[in-house]
Structure 1
Amino acid sequence: MNPLTRRDFLRLLPAGTAAALLVGCGRAEESALPTVVPTPDALSPEYTARDFLSAWQQGNYDAMHAFLTEEAQTRYPIDDFVGYYQMLSREATLYEMAATVVGAARLDATTAAADFDVSYKTRLAGDITARPRIPMYLNEAKQWRIAWSPAMILPSLGADNRLRMFPRTSTRGVIYDRKGQVIATQGAVVTLGVVPGEVADAAAVNGLLSELLGRSAEEIGAEYAGQPETWFIPIGDISFEASQANYERLQGTAGIALRERASRAYPKGATGAHLVGYIGTVSAEELSALGERGYQESDIVGKMGIEKGAEALLAGKKGGRLAVLSPEGAEVETVADVAAVQSRSLYMSIDFDLQLMCEEVLGERKGSIAIADVATGQLLAMATWPRFDPNRVLTDNAYLVELANDANQPLLNRPAQGAYPSGSLFKIVTMSAGLEKAGLPRTDPHLCTGVWTELGFPMACWKESGHGNIDLFHGLEQSCNVVFFETGQSLYGVGETALQEMAATYGIGQLTGVQMDENPGLLPDPAWKAAALDDVWVLGDTVNLSIGQGFLQTTPLQMLRVSLAVASGWVRPLSLISSLGDPLGASEPEPQPTPDAPPLAVSAERLATVREAMRAVAVPPMGTASGSFGDFPIPIAGKTGTAETVPGQDSHAWFSGYAPYDQPQIAFVGMVEYGGEGSGTAAPMMRELLRRFYNVAATEASTTEEEAQSE
């Protein structure tokens, strides 16, 4: 066996060996050994000490046990030896260690000892260091062997003492909306179980549990078959309300037992479900990422929405006191003590009255509606459909499986995770790039005949008869494809990534900063095409991108951010958090500062042109959204979008903008998957929302035949 070098080392554990390690702490009371320099003497006890520590760090129990004296091996058989390490490792919540010999010496002809420094990282009690001692004896084969005992791990453990962790926890914070309505709070669920020895009628037990839990009677019977008669065998969870409604039946069926435990409650049900999310037991993958914060296998963690995105705030951080106890339970030593970090209650930026309004307007259309505060970037509402009930997710595994397998993807948070071509909404970006990067004037002239053939094949404008002579400004107003084909062509002449540079400035192809899982989408460029498709970027790619088609994939929140940037002149990150509070309500909530935001890389004069063109979109007679907003009393700036999808499917319908035009307060986006024309579907939908938002009397919006066919 080759000896290790004298160099200190730190090794992360291989996967699967974390449970093999054992925490130790404290200083050995023996006098320090002299530091020795290794010699070529193969009998040096330091070699044995180093090899033992190396095996420990690798979780190689067999190798460790082989280094023990015969007496120690007899006293601690391999199974007991391994079990001791694993048990204490679990108790100490250990996940990483490192050790190195600092001194070794022969005490006489047949005895030696080695001191080593060891450091441990625990999930609950923090970092611990120690300098234990390894006693060794020379056997008849002239090999140094270790007289192992728990004192090698922690001097105060001795032979009979035990290690005990006393966790310190923090109650999960309450979630409110911006007005103080409770959105998520502590609740209760009831675990239904069976005590096998008390079952008088197995068919009755299995039948009732099958009815309440949605599982087969055969499966339930198998759960407790052969289990100890006096044990409580958990079968499944139901809500507290369901347990109360069925209390007499449950209590009247011998063998069924109930246990109540703390859980989470979502008073708003399915309203805002994707925003709030839900909690669940931490997975192995999550544990590997969260373990350093004190999470353990049975802990609860946010799985979706703000419950997941603000996990660190809502959960706080567990602490713990690690102590050595005597066989009688008296405390011998406090090894380490770390206080818990208190959780915070969270006030979302969402107004749940507005959220409900958005969901009512969206109805049962697969799509998205989102509204943000122009001044701060805080989301005020974010609706999608289909939705789900997070309360059922907590207690009904079959429901969660059903949601996951549903072709309509009710668990998909479409505003943040749905990725689509944006269609003509992207023309806002292309116009900005044309003005700023290509130096085009707002009056840049074009001729639209309904078909454009500059690439050698026909590319159509939505208006088959063409727009005739039209400039860049009116091209956005009327969403003329030919104007933007040629603007894209001009930008390609400036540089093949000129359009992408402007899109990146607006935040296309990037996360928006909102505290939830997002899809970054795809802003295609030459590097991406070379890597993904092994092909070169050509003029046609930029021309397609200029009208929001081709390889482009954006989320509704990204397109909301485009309108937000035009309205404010700043590229603000989006946020779901308005303020933070004490979980017990003992102090006033602390408003969260508006994060710094870079200015939009468009000059004031050119940005004013983009704003005017977006305003013209909503103004008769030519604006593509004028049928919805021409008579609307609040001045709106916006852009329609009709994004082509796969052949045979309707287009995605978009409308995004801000209001009021002259003093922007809100930015908004509406999108309906396969909804048809932006002017015919998305714009009327958003008019209805804004009508309710501004409390405008209902009137019948007029849509001309041309507008109904437009972008």
Structure 2
Amino acid sequence: MEIDSIERNEKLSPVKLHMTQYLVAVVLVILGVGLWRLQVLGATGWRVLAEQNRIRKVPVLAPRGKILDREGRIIVDNYPSVTCYLLREQQKNLDADLPQIANGLHMTVDQIQAIIKHFQLAAKYQPIPLKQDITPDEQAFVEAHRNELPELETLDEQRRLYPRDGFAAHLIGYVGEVSENDLNQSRYAAYAPGDVVGKSGVEETYDEILRGVDGSRDMVVNSHGKEVGLMGQELAQPGQDLRLTIDLDIQMAAEKALEGKIGAIVAMDPHTGEILAMASRPTFDPNQFSVRLTKAYWQSIMENPDHPMMNKTIQAQLAPGSTFKVIMTLAGLQENVAQDMHVQCNGGATFYGHFFACDRHHGGVDIHNALPYSCDTFYYTLANKLGIDTIARYATSVGIGSKTGVDLPDEAAGVMPSEQWKLKTQHDKWYAGETISVGIGQGAIEATPLQLARALGGIASGGALQRPHVVFPTELTKDQLSAVQSTYPGSGEKTVPLTPENWQIITDDMAGVTGPIGTAAAAHLEGVDFAGKTGTAQVMSHTALAMSGRGHNTEPNAWFVGIAPRRNPDIVVAVLWEHGVWGNNSAKLAAQVVTAFVNKQRAKAGNLQKVAEKPAETPAGAGGTAPAAPAGQ
């Protein structure tokens, strides 16, 4: 009886039995669906993951395009190099290998750890560049330790080869590894840590054209990480070669003229805006940046008070001195004020209770000899008649106080003061006495050498100003050209009103500057219609100079802007020699560049008569100019 009772109790009720069956069925369905998803729907994904376990993607870096001069001569090339990479796919304790790796690659453990930390957010399959441009003995180290250090790999690359001694360095720029700062900017959205990008100059502006598209090789590796075969590859697309408007012969003349000096020279074709030469001193070695930059070299640059990294042709914003008198002459003639002006120069004049000095007693001065003499008294008087806003209107019309739009990064705009400018920037009114100094290119006015070259070259071209550029527009697609011009906006091409009569007066007066009575008589070129304007710009007031005493850094800046020929010139050259004392010193430097240009043009035309070389410039501190003219203003 008890046994029957127990058997009845052990039997499952039908309800419980059905529930158990349903539960088992549900579990089986879930397992079936899961297996189906893994083996059917997820087959492709798991196959890819499996392939990644045995395939290593090795980057194939695209060589950057070469940079050529206007005649196709190579300025920047590439050379074969080997870089050592660290592979993080290996199932190894990298920390244990770091001392051996550091020793073999002549690095420190701290350096390697810093590099790994820099790439910690990058994908694990992405190799980390440990050391660029490794030596043959370092390559031998990697090869000899392939089995015990499978995380090391070498890769052949094409690395930048720049001219020696910083030749054209500011124009060309340099390349370097993209920084974390760069990666946060939208323009670097397509870049990854470790990518090499243009950092300044042409290399930066035209990086997208020059850099090409990297490729890759899919290498089959065994369980030890050793490559055993090639699965496939994607060929790299080399960067596009880029032809500049620069003429190497003119560039070499500019570089030679600036040797041992602090300053800048820029030469341009005023007809087109093509820059023929661009040099800045002191310079730097861009080859130092193409591999990992050393702290010592970077520190030496940063501690140099003369700013080697500054492209002074487009970034030095300084008082233009008497070169500004050409623009004053333009304003005075176009406003019908200067034509009949006659001034008696007795060494200066008094305005608003203050005596403004002139370097010499020029006697009677009019519009025809004011520019050759560079008579301050004449231009003080003209400035007082015109007023600051009229002066500013003409100066801004020829580009003073605004960027030229040259296709190079970090161009400075300069400053052209006016009543509104002072109220906006200094919250103060403009005083009439301030206008007097502006009339001779002093006071608050600041300009770059390229601005002055474009302005005076444009005036000499009948008022036609072109946008300066270092790459031929025809070398670019329409979209590329549009992108560059929108990235580097400027005043572009424009025409400034200038009557034929006034144009003739201005250009003849500029020719007088290099004539017998002019401030640049020593720069005269026999048989060449060479004109221009000197400028000597004080870097500190006479009061401050008297208190501090004279020294090299207190000497005036020497300016010169030259053209050849005087009307519709084929070349304009702007020279800034910081602390060069007199403008006629800079005129001699410009004459060297114009000589190189004219001799080359004559040689092309079959004319073998060369322009005689100019004598060396007057040493800093020495005067020496033509009689009856200021000492190289």
Instruction: Return the match for 2:82 from 177, 187, 190.
Output: 190
Q: 1:673 is matched with which residue?
A: 578
Aligned ranges 1:224-239 → 2 under 5 Å: 236-239=130-133
Partner residue in 1 for 2:71: 179
SS of the residue 2:255 aligns to: helix
Offset at residue 223 of structure 1 (A): 5.6
- d(CA) in 2 for partners of 1:282, 1:638: 44
One of 459, 471, 480 as aligned partner of 1:566:
459
- Matches of 1:459 and 1:540, distance apart in 2: 10
Residue 527 (structure 1) aligns with: 420
Question: Which residue of structure 2 lines up, in the alignment, with residue 432 of structure 1?
Answer: 330
The answer for the alignment partner of 2:594 in structure 1 is: 690
Structure 1 match to 2:278:
382
Q: Counterpart of 1:577 in 2: which secondary structure?
A: coil
Query: Over residues 204-228 of structure 1, what are the superposed CA-to-partner deviations in whole Å (9 max), with x where a residue is unaligned?
Result: 9756755xx7xxx57447669999x
Q: Structure 1 counterpart of 2:508, which letter?
A: E
Q: How far is 1:177 from its partner?
A: 1.2
Answer whether contact 2:250 2:596 (CA < 8 A) is retained. no
| Cα distance, 1:282 vs structure 2 | 2.9
Which of 336, 350, 353 in structure 2 is aligned with 1:456? 353
Task: Select 1:505's aligned residue among 385, 393, 397.
Answer: 397
Cα offsets for 1:437-472 (capped at 9, x unmatched): 2x1243410111112112211111122xx1111112
SS in 2 for 1:682: helix
Matched position secondary structure for 1:379: strand
Closer, same or farther: CA 552–163 of 1 in aligned 2, 3 Å? farther
Distance 1:380 1:245 in 2: 44
CA displacement 1:139-187 (0-9 Å, x = unmatched): xxxxxxxxxxxx9xxxx999978999x9999864332211112233454
Q: Which position in structure 2 is the counterpart of 1:536?
A: 429
Mapped partners of 2:181, 2:94: distance in 1: 39
Q: Residue type matched to 2:565 in 1?
A: P
Distance 2:412 2:143 in 1: 48
Q: Is the CA contact (8 Å cut-off) linking 1:183 and 1:266 kept in structure 2?
A: no
The 2-side partners of 1:564 and 1:341 are apart by: 41
**Distance apart, 1:664 and its partner CA:** 2.0
* 1:324-357 C-alpha deviation (Å, 9 max, x unpaired): xxxxxxxxxxxxxxxx999643210001232122
Q: Distance in 2 between matches of 1:250 and 1:626?
A: 66
User: For residue 111 of structure 1, what is the aligned residue in structure 2?
Assistant: none
Choose 640-649 or 611-620, whichever is displaced more: 640-649
| RMSD between aligned residues | 4.2
- Structure 2 residue 366 is the aligned partner of structure 1 residue 471: yes
How far off is 1:628 after superposition? 1.9
* C-alpha separation in 1, matches of 2:102 and 2:437: 61
Change beyond 3 A, Cα 1:682–1:262 = same
Q: CA distance change for structure 1 residues 170 and 189 in 2, over 3 Å: closer, same or farther?
A: closer
CA distance in 1, matches of 2:476, 2:413: 33
Question: Could you tell me which amino acid in structure 1 is paired with residue 561 of structure 2?
Answer: S
Could you say which residue in structure 1 is the equivalent of 2:17? none
1:625 corresponds to = 520
Q: How has the CA–CA distance of structure 1 residues 191 and 580 changed in structure 2, closer, same or farther, with 3 Å as cutoff?
A: farther
Q: Give CA-to-partner distance per residue, 1:663-682, whole Å, 9 cap, x none.
A: 62111111111111111x21
Q: Distance in 1 between matches of 2:461 and 2:626?
A: 34
Residue equivalent to 2:11: none
| Distance across 1 between alignment mates of 2:512 and 2:374 | 11
Of 423, 446, 450, the match for 2:343 = 446
Match of 1:485 in 2: 380
Q: Secondary structure at the match of 1:444?
A: coil
Letter in 1 for 2:170: H
SS in 2 for 1:458: strand
Tell whether the 8 Å contact from 1:428 to 1:610 is kept in structure 2 after alignment: yes
The SS at the match of 1:274 is: helix
Paired position in structure 2 for 1:548: 441
Structure 1 counterpart SS, 2:428: coil
- Shift in alpha-carbon separation, 1:257–1:550, aligned structure 2, 3 A: same
Shift of 1:661: 2.4
Partner letter of residue 384 of structure 1? S
**Alignment of structure 1 residues 259-658 onto 2, 5 Å:** 259-269=154-164, 270-291=166-187, 294-315=190-211, 344-398=240-294, 399-437=297-335, 439-463=336-360, 466-492=361-387, 496-517=388-409, 518-569=411-462, 570-578=464-472, 597-620=493-516, 622-629=517-524, 632-646=526-540, 647-648=544-545, 649-658=554-563
SS at match of 1:421: coil
Task: Classify 1:392/1:578 alpha carbon distance in 2 versus 1 (closer, same or farther; 3 Å).
Answer: same
**Contact 1:677 1:708 (8 Å CA) reproduced:** no
The 5 A counterparts of 1:198-237 are 209-210=105-106, 217=108, 219-220=110-111, 236-237=130-131
**8 A Cα contact 1:448 1:470, kept in partner:** yes
The CA deviation string for residues 98-152 of structure 1, in whole angstroms up to 9 with x for no partner, is: xxxxxxxxxxxxxxxxxxxxxxxxxxxxxxxxxxxxxxxxxxxxxxxxxxxxx9x
Deviations 1:613-638 (A, max 9, x none): 10110110x11001221x53212110
The answer to whether the 8 A contact 2:244-2:470 is kept is yes
For residues 171 and 221 of structure 1, what CA distance do their matches in structure 2 show? Answer: 26
In structure 2, distance between residues paired with 1:548 and 1:699? 28
1:140-155 aligned at under 5 Å gives the runs none
Following the alignment from structure 2 to structure 1, what is the Cα–Cα distance between the partners of residues 589 and 162? 28
Q: C-alpha displacement at 1:539, in angstroms?
A: 1.3
Hey, what's the Cα distance between the residues in 1 that align with 2:578 and 2:496?
29
Q: How does 1:40-59 map to 2 (within 5 A)?
A: none
Amino acid at match of 1:452: A
> Is contact 1:344-1:582 (8 Å) kept?
no
Larger % of strand: which? 1
The number of aligned residues is 510
Secondary structure of 1:429's partner? helix
CA distance in 2 between partners of 1:686 and 1:468 (Å): 30
The verdict on how the C-alpha distance between 1:305 and 1:203 changes in structure 2, with shifts beyond 3 A counting, is: same
For residue 53 of structure 1, what is the aligned residue in structure 2?
A: none
Larger helix proportion, structure 1 or 2?
2
Alpha carbons 1:653, 1:678 under 8 Å: kept: yes
Taking a change above 3 Å as real, the CA distance of residues 352 and 199 of structure 1, as seen in their structure-2 partners, is farther
1:279-324 Cα offsets, whole Å, 9 max, x none, are 22333444444458633444333210011122344357999xxxxx
SS at match of 2:203: helix
Question: Does the 8 Å CA contact 1:168/1:318 hold for their aligned counterparts?
Answer: yes
Q: Residues of 2 paired with 1:704 and 1:582: CA distance?
A: 47
1:687-707 CA deviation, whole Å, 9 max, x = no partner? 233333334233648954756
Q: 1:688 corresponds to which letter in structure 2?
A: Q
- After superposition, the C-alpha distances for 1:358-383 in whole angstroms (9 at most, x for unaligned) are 10111021111111112211000001
Report which stretch shifted further, 530-539 or 391-400: 391-400
Change (3 A) 1:224 1:404: closer
Comparing 567-576 with 264-273, greater Cα deviation is found at: 264-273
Q: Which runs of 5+ in 1 are unaligned?
A: 1-150, 320-339, 584-591
- Quickly say closer, same or farther: Cα 1:662–1:435, change in 2 above 3 A: closer
Aligned-partner SS, 1:184:
strand
Shift of 1:507: 0.7
TM-score, with normalisation over the residues of structure 2?
0.70
What residue identity is the alignment partner of 1:499?
A: I
- Secondary structure of 1:265's counterpart equals strand
Is the Cα contact below 8 Å between 1:194 and 1:232 reproduced in 2? Answer: no
Give the unaligned 5+ runs of structure 2. 1-36, 50-56, 120-124, 216-235, 478-484, 486-490, 546-553, 600-609, 619-623
